[in-house]
Structure 1
Amino acid sequence: MELTTVWFALIAILWIGYFTLEGFDFGVGMLLPVLARDEKERRVMYNTIGPVWDGNEVWVLVAGGATFAAFPEWYATLFSGFYLPLLLILVALILRNLAFEYRGKRDDDRWRARWDVAAIVGSWLPAVLWGVAFANIAAGVPIDADKEFTGNLFTLLNPLGLLGGLVTAALFATHGALFVALKTDGEIRHRARALAERLGLVAAVLAVVFMVWMQLRTGSVGSAIAFVAAALALVAGLVANRAGREGWAFVGTFVTIALAVAGLFLALFPDVMPSTTDPAFSLTTTNAAATAYTLKIMTWVAVIFTPIVLGYQAWSYWVFRRRISVEHIPEATAVGR
């Protein structure tokens, strides 16, 4: 197997890691005004992701860095052409991260309410825009002979792109609700399970329409298998949730998101950014790749350091595996969440 193919697969795995892990972070933030009834329940929700959200975000940094190093032409076209939506995502993530860090610095309801708004907006906006971006990447965008994106923001806001944004938002919200149900106890746990069932049905309908549309647009045999498996995993997750098996329900949405993202990359391959202007202008794993020597060095670095990163992150999840409830939350202070 050529190293260009290996690195295309590795970048796909990085994005799968990001969306499956950061997806429930987004979901928790998105559902903050829906699930939490009072300040202690809001703090419970924050604390479910408090130990892990920053580690989850590392995946997108590594994915961007790997794209830059392994496929510089892809990186250049993507980050210049999608500059505005990516900037909006970055600003939203900054606001969200600031909310996590500064919300508890003052014992003031208005102060906390403002940071709650930042966390909610900072979760919803990326959840939608990532779907818009990846739907357009997989389906194709206008690229000229110089490998430059010739569209604008409104080019990306096409029906398929907008549907992709709704799908990721619905899946992340369902994923987040199941994570809250898995990590909490008491009334908020039961509300989260009930909400996950309703959200999951909406996500299932949107996801099936999107995956069929994408498959007809630019699919392959591999992407078809991945999309069907993703749909089955979502159904299995919803069935497990109804049976009260929250762990298996969370695994169901985790696998759903992983397979859906894998399906997009399988539909994309061997292109990395198809051109709707002329197929000859498309960026592929061959014409967008770095030199063979660069890819070889990157491969050795990945082999050495990836197990270390995965081991540390798995350890952090194990340490913070227990459920929390309002009984575990002390009274608000100027330095606590």
Structure 2
Amino acid sequence: MELSTLWFLLIAVLFTGYFILEGFDFGVGILLPVLGRDERERRVLINTIGPVWDGNEVWVLTAGGAMFAAFPAWYATLFSGFYLPLLLILVALILRGVAFEYRGKRPEPRWKARWDAAIFAGSLLPALLWGVAFGNIVRGVRLDADHEYAGTLWHLLNPYALLGGLVTLTLFTTHGAVFLALKTTGDIRARANALAARAGLVAAALAVAFLAWTLLGVRGGAAAAVLAVLAAAALVAGLAANRAGREGWAFVGTAAAIALSVATLFSALYPNVLPSISDSANSLTVDNASSTPYTLKIMTWVALVFTPVVLLYQGWTYWVFRRRVDVRDIPDT
């Protein structure tokens, strides 16, 4: 396997990890005003992701860094052409991170309500825009002969990409509800379980429509079709486990559905990294967008050394904070 193809796969793995882990973070933030009926319940919801949310964001930073080093042409075209949507995602993530840190600095309900609104908006906007961004990456955009983006913002807001945004929004919401059912007890657990069942049906319908559109109307392939079927099966299995009250298996199901959906998109995309819909000769591929073989070789050795360390540390973090969170753990202020 060529190193350029290997790094294409590694970037797909990084985005998969990011969407699985940050996906339930986004879902918890979106559900904060829905499941958090009072201050103690809202604190329970935030505490479920408190020890891990910032570590989960490292995955997208690593993915962006890997794109910059392994595929500089892809990085340059993507981050210039998609500048406004990616800037909105960045601002939302910053606002959300600040909100987690500052909502407890003062006791006034109005102060907390404002930061709770920031957590909600900072979770909903990226959950929507990531789907829009990846929808455009898979569909393709207008590129000129110099591989520079030749479209406008409105070209990015096409029906296919907007449907992709709705898929990630509803899928992450479902994933977050399943995570809350897994990490809480009592009434919050029951309400999260019920909400996951309802949100999951919407997510399943939208995901099937989006994957079918991808395979039949945008770009397909036998491998992508198999992965799409497996993604749908994983989501159905996760919803069935949630209905049976098996939150652990339900979380595995929704996580697998996200992973297989990302795999479907990257499989359909390959060997392109950013197709051109104006002229296929202008498309960016794993070959014409990659760095030199020497650069990729150095990156591979660095990844082999440090990736296991990062995975072990993050796995240890989840193990330490594996216990369920209960309202009784929160002091009544």
**Shorter-chain TM-score range:** over 0.9
Where does residue 115 of structure 2 map in the other structure? 115
1:48-63 aligned at under 5 Å gives the runs: 48-63=48-63
**Aligned partner letter, 2:298:** I
Q: Quote the Cα distance in structure 1 between the aligned partners of 2:259 and 2:71.
A: 22
Q: Deviations over 1:58-101 (max 9, x none)?
A: 00000000000000000000000000000000000011001101
- Per the alignment, residue 10 of structure 1 pairs with 10
Q: Distance in 2 between matches of 1:33 and 1:89?
A: 21
Instruction: Please state whether the residue corresponding to 1:106 is helix, strand or coil.
Output: coil
Task: Using the TM superposition, give the Cα deviation of residue 219 of structure 1 relative to its aligned residue in structure 2, in angstroms.
Answer: 1.3
Give the counterpart letter for 1:157 in structure 2.
Answer: L
1:138 is matched by which residue type in structure 2?
Answer: V
Deviations 1:224-266 (A, max 9, x none): 1111100000000000001010000011000000000011000
SS state at 2:104 partner: helix
Cα distance between partner residues in 2 of 1:79 and 1:93: 17
State the Cα distance separating 1:222 from its structure 2 match: 1.2
Query: 2:239 corresponds to which letter in structure 1?
Result: L
Q: Within 2, Cα distance between the matches of 1:62 and 1:193?
A: 33
Quick one: distance in 2 between partners of 1:85 and 1:7? 25
Name the counterpart of 2:189: 189
Q: Which amino acid in 1 is paired with 2:77?
A: T
How far has the Cα of 1:331 moved from its partner? 3.2
Amino acid at match of 1:27: G
- DSSP 3-state at the match of 1:5: helix
Give the gaps of 5 or more residues in structure 1: 333-337
2:39 counterpart of 1:33? no
Shift of 1:152: 1.6
TM-score (norm 1): 0.98
1:24-173 to structure 2, matched below 5 A, reads 24-173=24-173
- Name 1:320's counterpart in structure 2: 321
How many residue pairs match? The answer is: 332
Partner of 2:267: 266
**RMSD of aligned alpha carbons:** 0.5
Give the aligned partner of residue 242 of structure 2.
241
Unmatched 5+ residue regions in structure 2? none
Question: CA offset at residue 221 of structure 1?
Answer: 1.1
The CA distance in 2 between the partners of 1:229 and 1:81, in whole Å, is 32
Aligned mates of 2:101, 2:267 — CA distance in 1: 38
- Cα distance in 2 for partners of 1:154, 1:125 equals 17
Question: Which residue number corresponds to residue 227 of structure 2?
Answer: 226
Over 4 Å off, 4+ runs: none
Alignment of 1:271-290 (within 5 A): 271-290=272-291
The one-character-per-residue Cα deviations of 1:132-174 (angstroms, maximum 9, x if unpaired) are: 0001101111111011001121111100000000000000000
SS of the residue 1:162 aligns to: helix
1:293 maps to a residue whose letter is: Y
